[in-house]
Amino acid sequence: MTTIKTSYRNVTAYVTKDGSEIRELLHPGVQKAGRQSLAEAIIQPGSRTRLHYHQTTEELYHVTQGFGSMILGQQTIAIEPGDTVLIPPKMPHCVEAYGTVPLHILCCCHPAYSHEDTELME
């Protein structure tokens, strides 16, 4: 198997349908390998992503910096560095950043993230 490596400084950020700033660290559509994707989402203080869900994608969110809350289905949970949250397919979710520093979240998706699999609810 060929080694696939990316460098953070070479990854250009873009804004997803839910409104978060994303850097695709590894994605099969870019690196041509694997079946999942890994991205960093950044949500600015006082900002909130749009409520959405994915038809087929299961996600893992791992908070690396900042504080906030997450709507996950019918519950709202506090999130902070070190927390990891499982988001099953079809589960409505969004994230809000608190405080004075951006909220940084590593997002692992299987299958890999696609705009087509993202359904906005608001």
**Other beta carbons within 10 Å of 46:** 10
Backbone angles phi, psi at 29, to 5 degrees: -70, -15
What pLDDT, in 10s, does the model give residues 31-59? 776 889 999 999 999 999 999 999 999 99
- Residue 65 confidence (pLDDT) above 80: yes
What pLDDT, in 10s, does the model give residues 16-27? 888 889 898 888
The average pLDDT across 83-98 equals 97
Residue 3 confidence (pLDDT): 60
The residues spanned by each domain of the chain are: 12-120
Assigned architecture for domain 12-120: Sandwich (2.60)
37: burial class by Cβ within 10 Å (0-12, 13-18, 19+)? buried
Looking at every residue in the chain, the average pLDDT score rounds to 92
Tokens (6 digits) for 34: 């694997």
User: Cα(99)–Cα(66) distance, rounded to whole angstroms?
Assistant: 8
